[in-house]
Amino acid sequence: MFAALARAVTRRPWLVIVSWLVVAAALVLAAPGIGSVSNPDQAAFLPSGSESARAAALAAREFPGSTQDTAVIVVSRPGGNLSEADVAAVGRLADLPRAEGVTGITFDPARDVAANRRVAILVVGFAGPAERADTQSAVAALRRSAAAAVAGTGLSVGMTGQAAVAADTRTSFNRATVIVTVATLALIVALLLLIFRSPVAALLPLLTVGLVYAVTTALIACAGRLLGFQVGQELPTMLTVVLFGIGTDYVLFLLFRYRERLRAGDGPTEAVVTALSRVGEVIASAALAVIAAFAALILARLGFFRTLGPALAIGVGVTLLAALTLVPAVVTVLGRWTFWPSRPRASGAAAPVAEPRFAVLGRAVGRRPAAVLAGGLVLLAALGAGLGSVRPSYDPVGQLPAGTEASRAFRELQVGFPAGALNPTTVYLRTAAPLAATQLDQFTARLAAVPGVASPLPPVVSADGRTAGVPLVLSGAPYSTAALNLVDGPLRDAARAAAPAGSTVLLGGQTMAYAEIRNATHRDLAVIFPVAAALFALILAGLLRALLAPVQLVVLVIAGFAATLGATAWLFTSSLAFSIPIVLYLFVTAIGTDYNILITARLREEIRDGRRPREAAALAVAHAGPSVAAAAAILAGTFAALLISGVPFFVQIGFAVTLGIALVAYVVSILLVPACGALTGSAAWWPARPRPTMAADMNPPRVVAGR
């Protein structure tokens, strides 16, 4: 199949190239921007039947026109206490011109000035959700107005809270996308120049993947509009890294095999056909494994994962199509100029030329596979011991860069108020008959007595008197483990016990929403991990037509994931973002499988050419090792670019995935996979038995070292 595809592409390369350009231009011009279907609010991705979502629906129905989301303006005098004149100045901030989307700014000196007079707060209400454009515009306008109002007074003012956090998150992520994109492109160009010493070969992946990125974002935006779904605002940055990383991998797989065939004496067109015939199945299988892993996220309850997976799967699918059609067409047109100024020529060797270092490494693996396997497993086990340190964080403020206004204002708020003042938790009580004042007072008192509740705020009652909302300020930070445990257990239990018979109790607010995000994440991890692993095994079994070899590969790559997560948990002990384990699992196992497939396919190819298992393992390392090493260096480098993003979430992903790719490529794929192949021999390929082909007579069992 891939040979037929290769012949069709090389026969009409210009038609393939022009078709890609026309389709891409049409999609980009017709599609809305990816920002039009993105949402920064994790809670917005909860199922509609979740308790916090039902509470929000009840509030919207019973308290029409009530505040959807809030922000808190925090005012302090650096190094001193607030004077009466300062408090009066704070009160005047409540009269700031209301930007569009603002429902009100409230200030009560008796309640909103801290007892230690170090800080004062004003609560801002918004008509729409925090992520909506008018809300974010209102946040920016109020920040400017508040700063201007206190200019020259010596007061410090800042805005935090849900709406402010959403605004700062969007700004930080947009800035991170630009930084990561520039760093990724620069790094890929530098590494490709180092590998191929050719500006043409260095630019080919960038131009190809750049086109793929444009097509992918257009397709996702169109799908989001047509099907009515949203994606997390992390997606553009994630797409940049994933597509440039994976896309460059696939281009490298083809270019390395193409150069190998040129050195073996093939003409340019013949070399493209042979290269695509040999690595097309590997690229397709690797891409399908990645797509399957991302598609497994459809099973998630949390909408963030459920939309992230298909979006990334679309990108990988487009990348696969480009790798099998566009890239071979461009290489066919360029011919030997692909590697200009060097011009690969036939080496005169009967066997393909191998890198000297990888030839030496391959022979070492072939001679002592048991020692190599034992050493690699000991390393992975040592790193995996850190799994006991995994403590996921659900704090969106903690995932902001330290210098953002929302994070700075939150720190100042805690100087005089409980951290829970950032986002109070509201307990809604719905009864069959109108509530008496004494009933509401008793209910509020029972809630206030729950350990972990700092104080209640004035309740609100619906027009028919049957629904009440009791806001509660928690003692701890609203996204802390203690707060999530409180609302998901003792507080909810106490509210239900205190409610009149036959009534309904619902907990709303960000703390409850993140408690449900935590529950959904635990469930999703339990479902997605085994499903993704099973899909990997099935795809590998289909490629290899064997049972033991796929199991070996899945077990080894999962060991690489465990080692990576353990090491990451040791480094980010208390601040590891809750989504890191599942993102890491999918990236490391799915992308790492690319390298395993490439090595294993070459191992099987050498066995079919008549090599003995240990010799086949040595040759697989010698010939496929350089491709894996180069591809992994580039892919790890693209994720390493996230380390300079300034966003803690991306920094954690950058470290974790970079380490994971290094482990699965340089330890698992290049060392452990061929070592396993050398030890298990023909048993790994059961029930199929790779038989020598005619190539065994033409390819003597040796490795020719050279450039």
* pLDDT at residue 562 greater than cutoff 80: yes
Could you tell me if residue 335 is left (phi over 0), alpha (psi between -120 and 50 degrees) or otherwise beta?
Answer: left
Query: For residues 505 and 466, is the Cβ–Cβ distance under 8 A?
Result: no
Q: Which helix (H) or strand (E) holds 125?
A: strand 119-126
* CATH code where residue 474 lies: 3.30.70.260
Quote the distance between the C-alpha of residue 37 and its chain's center: 17
Structure-token match 């928690």, residue found: 474
Final residue belonging to a domain, choices 475, 508, 541: 508
C-alpha separations of 671 from 367, 488, 492, 575, 675 in Å: 12, 47, 53, 33, 6
pLDDT at 534 over 70: yes
- 111 in a domain, yes or no? yes
Burial (0-12, 13-18, 19+ Cβ within 10 Å), 77: middle
- Asked whether residue 705 falls in the same domain as residue 667, the answer is yes
Q: Are residues 692 and 607 in the same domain?
A: yes
| DSSP per position, 418-451 | -GGGGS-EEEEEE-SSPPPHHHHHHHHHHHHTST
Q: How confident is the model at residue 563 (pLDDT cuts 50, 70, 90)?
A: very high
What number is the average pLDDT over the span 648-668?
Answer: 89
Mean pLDDT of 571-594: 78
**Res. 155: pLDDT tops 60:** yes
Residues 319 and 392 placed together within one structural domain of the fold? no
Copy the structure tokens of residue 156.
């410090």
- The strand order across the sheet containing 119-126 reads 102-106, 119-126, 69-76, 156-160
Question: pLDDT class for 38, splitting at 50, 70, 90?
Answer: low
Question: Looking at the structure, do residues 595 and 522 belong to the same domain, yes or no?
Answer: yes
Distance CA 295, CA 119 (A): 49
Residue 72: per-residue pLDDT: 92
Same-domain check for residues 537 and 603? yes
Q: Residue range 314-319: average pLDDT?
A: 90
Q: In this structure, what token pair is assigned to residue 534?
A: 């099973």
Task: Quick: pLDDT tens for 481-508.
Answer: 999 999 999 999 999 999 988 899 999 9
Q: Show which of 117, 149, 167 is a domain's final residue.
A: 167
Q: Which residues contact 152 (CB under 8 A, 6 or more apart)?
A: none
In this structure, the chain runs to a length of 707
Q: Find the range with the poorest average confidence among 265-279, 404-418, 511-525, 676-690.
A: 676-690
**69 DSSP 8-state letter:** E
Give the bridge partners for 157, in sequence order: 75
State the Cα–Cα distance between residues 52 and 35, nearest whole angstrom.
26
Instruction: From 167, 184, 207, give the residue that closes a domain.
Output: 167
Q: Is 417 within a domain? A: no
Q: Report DSSP state, residue 31.
A: S
Q: Is residue 60 part of a domain?
A: no
* Residue 456 φ/ψ, nearest 5 degrees: -90, 155
Q: Are residues 362 and 336 in the same domain?
A: no
**Is residue 368's pLDDT more than 50?**
yes
pLDDT of 689-704, one tens digit each?
655 443 333 333 344 4
Q: What is the mean pLDDT of residues 153-171?
A: 89
Rounded to 5 degrees, φ, ψ at 117 are 60, 25
* Residue range 589-597: mean pLDDT, rounded: 76
Identify the pLDDT of residue 30. 83
pLDDT band at 281; cut points 50, 70, 90: confident
Residue 54 domain flag: no
Residue 73 is assigned to a structural domain of this protein: yes
With bands split at pLDDT 50, 70 and 90, how would you rate the model's confidence at 45? low
Torsions phi, psi for 144 (to 5 deg): -65, -45
Two tokens at 208?
């190809």
3-class DSSP state of 545: coil
Q: Which of 236-240, 555-559, 560-564 has the lowest mean pLDDT?
A: 236-240
**Residue 215 in contact with residue 24, Cβ under 8 Å?**
yes
From the list 310, 187, 324, 313, the residue with the least C-alpha distance to 243 is 313
Based on the fold, state whether residues 344 and 365 are members of the same structural domain: no
Q: Look at residue 93 in the predicted model and tell me its pLDDT.
A: 93
How are beta strands 425-430 and 467-474 bridged, if at all? antiparallel
Q: Is the pLDDT of residue 579 over 50?
A: yes
Say how many Å lie between the first and final Cα of the chain, rounded: 31
Query: Which pLDDT band, with edges at 50, 70 and 90, does 355 fall under?
Result: low
Query: What residue numbers bound the domain in which 159 lies?
Result: 68-167
Q: Tell whether 547 and 689 lie within a shared domain.
A: yes
Most confident stretch, 55-64, 143-152, 642-651: 143-152
Which comes out higher in pLDDT, residue 158 or 60?
158
pLDDT over 70 (residue 98)? yes
How large is the average pLDDT for residues 609-614? 84
Peptide bond into 434 cis (omega under 30): no
Domain-embedded: residue 408: no
Please state the pTM of the whole predicted model: 0.76
Exposure class string for 494-520: b at 16+ Cβ within 10 A, else e:
bbeebbeeebebbbbbbbbbbbbbbbb
Is 418 inside any structural domain?
A: no
Structure tokens at 630: 């180069």
Please state, as a whole number, how many other Cβ atoms lie within 10 Å of the Cβ of residue 650: 27
For every residue of 181-209, DSSP letters joined together read HHHHHHHHHHHHHHHH--HHHHHHHHHHH
Computed over every residue of the chain, the mean pLDDT equals 84
Same domain assignment for residues 126 and 266: no
Res 346 pLDDT > 70: no
Q: What is the mean pLDDT of residues 389-400?
A: 83
- Residues 158, 409 contacting (CB under 8 angstroms): yes
User: How many domains, in total, are found in the chain?
Assistant: 4
CATH code of the domain covering residue 106: 3.30.70.1430
- 651 or 646, greater pLDDT: 651
Residue 342 has pLDDT above 80, yes or no: no
What percentage of the chain carries pLDDT values higher than 70? 91
Query: What is the pLDDT, as a whole number, of residue 601?
Result: 81
**Does residue 280 belong to any structural domain of this protein?**
yes
Q: What's the CA gap between 17 and 21, in Å, rounded?
A: 6
User: Is the per-residue pLDDT at 235 higher than 80?
Assistant: no
Q: Is the pLDDT of residue 350 over 50?
A: no
**Residue 452, phi then psi, degrees to nearest 5:** 105, -10
State whether 645 and 538 are in the same domain. yes
Nearest residue to 516 via CA among 161, 13, 45: 45
pLDDT band with cut points at 50, 70 and 90 for residue 630: confident
- Could you tell me if 334 and 219 lie in one domain? yes
Above 50 in pLDDT, residue 139? yes
Task: Give the Å distances, CA to CA, from 333 to 12, 73, 202.
Answer: 10, 61, 16
At 81 the three-state DSSP class reads coil
- At residue 86 the predicted structure's pLDDT band, cuts being 50, 70 and 90, is very high
Q: What is the predicted pLDDT for the residue at 376?
A: 93
Q: Is the separation of the CB atoms in 653 and 642 below 8 Å?
A: yes
Residues 440 and 491 grouped into a single domain:
yes
The domain that holds 22 is classified in CATH as 1.20.1640.10
